[in-house]
Structure formats: structure tokens, C-alpha cells
Amino acid sequence: GTGKLWGGRFAGGPSPELEALSRSTHFDWRLVPYDLAGSRAHARALHAAGLVSDADLAALLGGLDALGERFAAGTLQPDPTDEDVHGALERMLLAEIGAEVGGKIRAGRSRNDQIATLFKVFLRDHGRMIAGQVLDLVEALAGQAETHLGAIMPGRTHLQHAQPVLLSHHLLAHAWPLLRDVERLRDWDARVAADSPYGSGALAGSSLDLDPEQVAHDLGFAGSTANSIDGTAARDFVAEFAFVTAMIGVDVSRIAEEVILWATREFGFVRLDDGFSTGSSIMPQKKNPDISELARGKAGRLIGNLTGLLATLKALPLAYNRDLQEDKEPVFDSVDTLEVLLPAFTGQVATLTFDTARMAELAPQGFSLATDIAEWLVREGVPFRVAHELAGACVRRCEELGIELHELTDEQFATIDPRLTPGVRDVLTAEGSVASRRGRGGTAPDRVREQLAELRTAAGAL
């Protein structure tokens, strides 16, 4: 034998070139605790099936625990000749408790069902972690929304002034998609928790009468996989996870882009906290929104991880193929990326200082109250098509005169059209405009206060 997992059939060991290519311990070592948990459950299943004695089970569990302790202490390291985490841990178990007993653990399992199961458990743990971090960001947005209830800003479409809105309304519009991302993680988790691939073996299942349901329950799954080929070959759970992490990155990038814009001199809407912004090595005056820029950049990377993974899976024949080992690095990267990005981003959002006076001053500018004129005319009985036309004429007149809508005199209004009586002036404030949008989902202060409570209730239920 060669000392490898597959020694018997091979006269010689692998070439160094193959070893270098094949090795995955530099990235799959983080799965050690998950592989050990799987092995404990599997040892108990072997015992329950009568294939391992009480004493052997105790020895196996003791050996696995010892490896777990060494891993926790940071002293468990793979050898350069170890191919992957599974092979390395089996080699170490044998060294720990002897080849006689240690050699029993591999019965009825394959690295193919091992890795499919462990990756699910790993991703479930990190899915919960990321969900918690996203909820922290939701709360940071909600906190800012609460602090600034009543503050008015220019609402935009096409990045042009459109209609005044509450700053809180705008901030909450970023919170809702993030809440849906958390829901996506929960949906995903319920789907993944349904079936554990352990027991699928290499692809065809096991002849040893092991109980995959028992292993599944030990590892926190509701049940075991119905099809052993599917259990070992499917990676849609990885792709779906990668999608949700990419979606989170994209949703965060949309906030990031606005923070970057808002922090410019031209906008002047926000000031960044010193702890969450950076300076320049040459320009002493600089205060840069690096966290938001990194968020924007990392969204691209998260998308890349998803698309790379989908490309790996495309047209891959059943069942296990070694291509599937390529599923781990991109998704580990997505996990690491979000877990370091989200706390920083949340800190940046929570510590933003808004210049609400400047926002309020700009809110009615750029003729953003033109719709209010049109809707006032509609309430006066004018058909909207005509009202739109008349409000447009007001804008044109203002542009000629270089003034804003509320600066038109009663005579100027009357000259444009006699139906534009002085009463129109009542709607020509940003406050009046915002307060008038009082239907559900609208930007009126009362609605936004309710919306904030609704968001927090929804977040609390997750």
C-alpha cells in the first residue's frame, strides 16, 4: 500500500505534480470541526448497526474528540502529503487510536457524501451568522430613520430631483431589501436542513444497513436524502447560497453608492465619522468613503463567485466529479467577504451625520413640486392631462425667469391659466408635499412612523 486512502490498487504513490494540484487542505481545513462531527455521527451509526463494539465506539469518539481539541488549540495541521481534510483527519485518527479500530470509521461512507453533508452544515452556520449581521445593518438604517423622522430630502428618479421625500422613507427603502435577503437565507436554510447526504456513499448508497436518518438528526438535519446520486452530486444549495450572498452584496452596494455621492462636496448630505472613513497620504484635507467603495467593489467579487460556480456546475454529468471541489473556494470567499464587510458597513451607516438643513433646502428645488401643482388642479376638477400640461407651463415660465415654483406671483400664475388661483400656493412647500402622500407606503410622516414599526416587527420575527 502507499498509505493513501486508496493504496491497495496502486503500486506507487502520486507524483508531486498531482499532489500539488489535488491538494485542498489549504482551503478545506476550516471544515475540520464539521468533518469530526460527521465522523462522530457516523461512528454511532456503525455502532447502532452492530459493526462497531461499545469499546471501539468509545475509542473512536475519544480519538475524534482529541483531534477536535487539538484543532481548537490551533495545533492540528495537515501534512503536505494530505490531499484533503477528510483524508488528513482519517490518517490522524489512525495515528491517535491505532489502525485496527481507526480503520473501521470509513465503512459505509465516502468523501463524496461526507463533503456534501459537511458543506451544508458549514454553510448553515455561516448563513445564520450573516443573517444576524444583515439584521444589524437593517437596525442601523432603522435607527437613523428614527433619529431623523420628519427630515425632508430631494427624492430622485434618474438621479434628477423628482419629488420631496422623508429621509427616513429613503433609508427604510434600503432596509426592506436587506430584510428580504434575511428571509432568503431562512428559506434556503429550511430547504438545506431537509436532507443530509450522509449515507449516500460514493453515489449508490450503502449495503451496511446504516441508518442515515440517525446521522441526519445528529447533524441537525430533519431527514436524509431520498436519492444517493442527488445527495452526492447536487450543488444547487451552494449556488443558491452564493446567489443570496451576491444579492446582499448588491443591495449593500446600492447604499454604498449613495453614501459616496452624499459625502461629496456637491451633495453635502452626510459627514462620515472619523472611525469609519480614511484620509489621504498626500492630500491633508481628504476624508474618503473607503468602506462604501470597498462594499461597491466587493459586490462585483460576490457576483463573480456566483457566476464562476454556476459555470463549474453547468453540464456536469452525474454523479460526483472532482470538478465539484471547485465549489468551496468561491463560497468560502463570499462568506469571508460578507463577514468582514457587514460590520464595517453597519458602523459607517450608524455613525453618519446628516446635514438635514441642506437636504431640506434642496428638497423643493429643481421644480420638484410640479406634481403637487398638477394634483392640486385635479382636486379642483381639472383633468390630469390638462393639469400636467399647466404645471409644465409653470416650470417653463420659472426656467425663463430663473426662479422656483413657489416664487411665481399670483399674477404670473393667473397669466399662465386662470384656474391657477392663489390657493395653489398652499401645496408649494416640501412639507405640504410630503404630508399629502398619506396613502399606505407613502412618504407622509405618519405613514413612515408606521412603516418603521412594521419593519422592526418584521425584523424581530426573523
For the annotated catalytic residues, the residue numbers are 158, 280
Residues lying near ligand ARG in the complex (CB under 6 A): 24, 84, 111-112, 115, 320, 322, 324-325, 328
Write down the least CB distance from residue 249 to ligand ARG, Å: 24
When the beta carbons of 116 and 295 are compared against ligand ARG, the nearer one is 116
What does the alpha-carbon distance between residue 61 and residue 55 come to, in Å, rounded to a whole number?
Answer: 10
Nearer to ligand ARG, 119 or 413 (CB): 119
**41 vs 324, beta carbon nearer ligand ARG:** 324
Sign of CA dihedral 212, 217, 223, 225: negative
Asked whether the CA dihedral 288, 292, 296, 302 is positive or negative, the reply is positive
Give the integer Cα–Cα distance in Å for 109 and 52. Answer: 14
Task: Write the CA distances from 57 to 101, 104, 109, 217, 422, integer angstroms.
Answer: 9, 10, 16, 18, 90
In the complex, the smallest distance separating the C-beta of residue 458 from ligand ARG, rounded to whole angstroms, is 38
Minimum distance between the CB of residue 198 and ligand ARG, rounded to whole angstroms? 14
Would you tell me the crossing angle of helices 54-72 and 32-48 to the nearest 10 degrees? Answer: 170
DSSP 407: G
Q: Which is nearer to ligand ARG, 324 or 430 (CB)?
A: 324
User: Considering the complex, what minimum distance in angstroms separates the CB of residue 157 from ligand ARG?
Assistant: 47
Residue 313 CB, nearest approach to ligand ARG (Å): 13
Given a contact cutoff of 8 angstroms between Cβ atoms, the answer to whether 96 and 63 are in contact is yes
CB nearer ligand ARG, residue 71 or residue 320: 320
Give the separation between CA 394 and CA 370, rounded to whole angstroms.
8
Dihedral sign computed on CA atoms, order 396, 401, 404, 410: negative
256-262: long-range contacts (C-beta < 8 A, 24 or more apart)? Answer: 256/289, 256/291, 256/292, 256/293, 256/295, 256/296, 256/299, 256/345, 257/292, 257/296, 259/289, 259/292, 259/348, 259/349, 259/352, 260/289, 260/292, 260/293, 260/296
- DSSP code for 8: G
Closer Cβ to ligand ARG, 71 or 413, answer by number: 71
Cell triple for 365? 428645488
